[in-house]
Amino acid sequence: MHTIEKHVEDLFANADDRHDELRFNPVTGAGFHGRLDPIGPQKQMAIRALRARAWFEPQRPSDAAELPLNSWDRHMIKCRAVDYIVAAFSFSLEMRDFETEGHPRFEEYPRGVMASPETPDHVRNDPNLLGRFPPTPLPGLGGGLIWRQ
């Protein structure tokens, strides 16, 4: 078994809520019914999420947060402009079930975010980000800064 798969098995096996009816995916935070919902899809989503984080890591700017994998962690990092973009990148990946193939890499995605009218003014007008990520329209980047191709 690969390291990520083993890690996910351990997370689910040792989760505090492992005997509860209402459970939460320990990686993505998604809720599911412990007796009615199959656990396999939750584990697969956790594996894809952790693989997405590993895919992002070599692309991550040195001043950026680790790729958040759930809504709470995304919310917690949004106060710094570069991390706002990391949070949006994470949400875009989550909307694709963390499928990285075909999603723009991080060096391209922020330029599209900076060109998008969906981006909040405090991010889009940040002089540091404008210098690092010159606005360049990114076809396929839609509402919610989600990649839709």
Helix (H, G, I), strand (E, B) or coil at 35: coil
The range of the structural domain enclosing residue 84 comes to 3-145
Count how many domains the chain has.
1
Contact criterion met (CB below 8 Å) for 130 and 114: yes
- Planar angle of CA 19, 22, 24, nearest 5 degrees: 90
- C-alpha pair distances (Å), 29 with each of 15, 16, 49, 71: 12, 13, 11, 8
pLDDT tens-place values along the chain, 149 residues long: 589 999 999 999 999 999 999 999 999 999 999 899 999 999 999 999 999 999 999 999 999 999 999 999 999 999 888 999 999 999 999 999 999 999 999 999 999 999 999 999 999 999 999 999 999 999 999 999 999 97
Determine if the pTM surpasses 0.95: no
Q: Which helix (H) or strand (E) holds 46?
A: helix 39-56
Our measurement of the distance from residue 89's CA atom to the centroid of its chain's CA atoms, rounded to an integer in Å, reads 6
